[in-house]
Amino acid sequence: MFALFPMLVIMVGLGLAPIVILGALWAVVAVITSTIDGLDSVPPLLLKLGAALRLSRVQQVTRVLVPAALRHIGIGLKLALTFSVIGVLASEFILSTYGLGHFIADAHQRFVIRALTQASRSWCC
């Protein structure tokens, strides 16, 4: 995913835009893969039940597939939040001149342990 970063910088330019786009891409990929996994894990018996009840394709999707995959979609949303934050911080390490990622990278380069621990405390707690 970070291989897209140079292309985003060329297309969008420097600044906040490529960082936000990369964070959003991380989130979208997590939700889509989790949703596909959830839809693939629907038991065939439920699909046969929908066919036996003569549900239309739209009704099968709304009444059988989505409720059966809802747990996986929720997991995907939780993962999306985490992945987007990680993607934004990692992008800030590379390009940004401000933000938490830049602060951590700068403190790491200058070997300021106190600043590193304060940054990690402010981020997680």
118 occurs within a structural domain: yes
Domain that holds residue 100: 96-125
The total domain count for the chain is 2
Per-residue model confidence (pLDDT) at position 4: 73
| Residue 118 pLDDT greater than 80, yes or no | no
Query: For residue 32, what are the contacts with CB-CB under 8 A and spacing of at least 6?
Result: 76
pLDDT digits (tens, 9 = 90+) for 45-92: 999 999 999 999 999 999 999 999 999 999 999 999 999 988 888 887
- Do the domain assignments include residue 40? yes
Q: Are residues 84 and 40 in the same domain?
A: yes
| pTM, two decimal places | 0.73
Q: Do 86 and 39 fall within a single domain?
A: yes
Q: pLDDT tier at 120 (50, 70, 90 boundaries)? A: low
Same domain, 89 and 41: yes
Contact 2, 90 (CB under 8 A): yes
pLDDT at 125 over 70: no
Tokens for 22, please give them. Answer: 């990369």
